[in-house]
């Protein structure tokens, strides 16, 4: 579905991504793990056209979308849940969801999807009229995911959905990711919480200072000694 080939991104003089290649097959969960500053977020931002990439290819369903406008990429069915949730704090829950469907015109289907999101997150329904900025971190994360689902994505990019959330809520969030996936959405998940991410992922990549140093099936990476030592803190 999504093929990244030899992607390079520079921030001024910094070479943030050094020719990485990633495959995200349809209906799979692929995860990208690594430490701070490894280039995980940059990869997602580059796919979405939020940063200019210097070279390489991002092929989505056979079409190179590298450095295309963000709104064109969104309308092709790719959406990102940004790091730190970034819900619109001055808008209420319902308005945030309506904006999620900003590029869509099919009123009936939007209504249906809104109900779907409210079913997925009953909490959001209770807080329909509450300003997003006043909600807890977990609720904001639910809203950020719900808002992304309102674009009716085929490919969902998630940037650190567990960041800053209590362990119990993290569990909920990963449960929800699995549910969304079951619904036929392909997922590219960026996480520092390597264990949780690898447990639900079909395939994983380990990113270190802009290069992919390791890749493999989720379960295999989970049991890999290097990964355990570096990211799971379980030295043998």
Partner 1 sequence: MALQTILQHLVNGISLGSLYALLAIGYTMVYGILRLINFAHGDIFMLGTYIAFYSMTAFFLPWWISFLIAIIVTCIFGIVLERAAYRPLRDSPRISVMISAIGASFLIENLAIVVFGGRPKAFPIPTIFSKILNIGGVSIVSVSIFIPIITAIALFILNYLVNNTKIGMAMRAVSKDYEAARLMGINVNNIISFTFGTGSILAAIGGVMWGLKYPQLIPLMGLMPGLKCFIAAVVGGIGNIRGAVLGGFILGLGEILIVAFSPTLSGYRDAFAFVLLIVILLVKPSGLLGQNTTEKV
Binding positions for partner 1, rule: CB under 8 A: 48, 50, 70-71, 74-75, 79-80, 82, 84, 86-91, 95, 98-100, 102-103, 133-137, 147, 151
Distance of alpha carbon 204 from alpha carbon 211, whole angstroms: 14
CA 159 vs CA 18, 98, 105: distances in Å:
20, 22, 27
Q: Closer to partner 1 by CB, 145 or 206: give it.
A: 145
Q: Closer to partner 1 by CB, 1 or 143: give it.
A: 143
Q: Closer to partner 1 by CB, 16 or 212: give it.
A: 16
Residue 104 beta carbon to partner 1: minimum distance, rounded to whole angstroms: 9
Residue 140 beta carbon to partner 1: minimum distance, rounded to whole angstroms: 9
Q: Closer to partner 1 by CB, 11 or 102: give it.
A: 102
Residue 17 beta carbon to partner 1: minimum distance, rounded to whole angstroms: 19
Q: How many Cβ atoms sit within 10 Å of the Cβ of residue 195?
A: 15
Burial 47-76 (b: 16+ CB within 10 A, else e): bbbebebeebebebeeeebbeeeeeebbeb
Residue 94 beta carbon to partner 1: minimum distance, rounded to whole angstroms: 10
């Amino acid at each position: 579905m999504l093929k990244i080939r030899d992607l390079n991104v520079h921030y001024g003089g910094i070479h943030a991504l050094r020719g990485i290649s990633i495959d995200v097959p349809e209906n799979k969960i692929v995860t990208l793990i690594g430490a701070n500053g490894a280039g995980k977020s940059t990869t997602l931002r580059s796919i979405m056209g939020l940063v200019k990439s210097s070279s390489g290819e991002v092929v989505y369903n056979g079409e190179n979308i590298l450095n295309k406008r963000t709104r064109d990429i969104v309308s092709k069915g790719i959406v990102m849940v940004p790091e730190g949730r970034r819900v619109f704090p001055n808008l209420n829950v319902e308005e945030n969801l309506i904006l999620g469907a900003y590029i869509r015109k099919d009123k009936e289907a939007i209504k249906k999807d809104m109900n779907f999101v409210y079913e997925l997150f009953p909490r959001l329904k209770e807080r329909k009229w509450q300003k997003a900025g006043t909600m807890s971190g977990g609720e904001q994360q639910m809203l950020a995911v719900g808002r992304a689902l309102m674009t009716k994505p085929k490919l969902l990019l998630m940037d650190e959905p567990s960041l800053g959330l209590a362990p119990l809520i993290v569990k909920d969030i990963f449960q929800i990711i699995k549910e969304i996936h079951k619904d036929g959405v392909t997922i590219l998940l960026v996480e520092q919480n390597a264990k949780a991410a690898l447990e639900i992922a079909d395939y994983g990549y380990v990113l270190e200072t802009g290069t992919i140093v390791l890749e493999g099936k989720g379960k295999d990476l989970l049991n890999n000694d290097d990964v355990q030592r570096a990211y799971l803190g379980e030295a043998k």
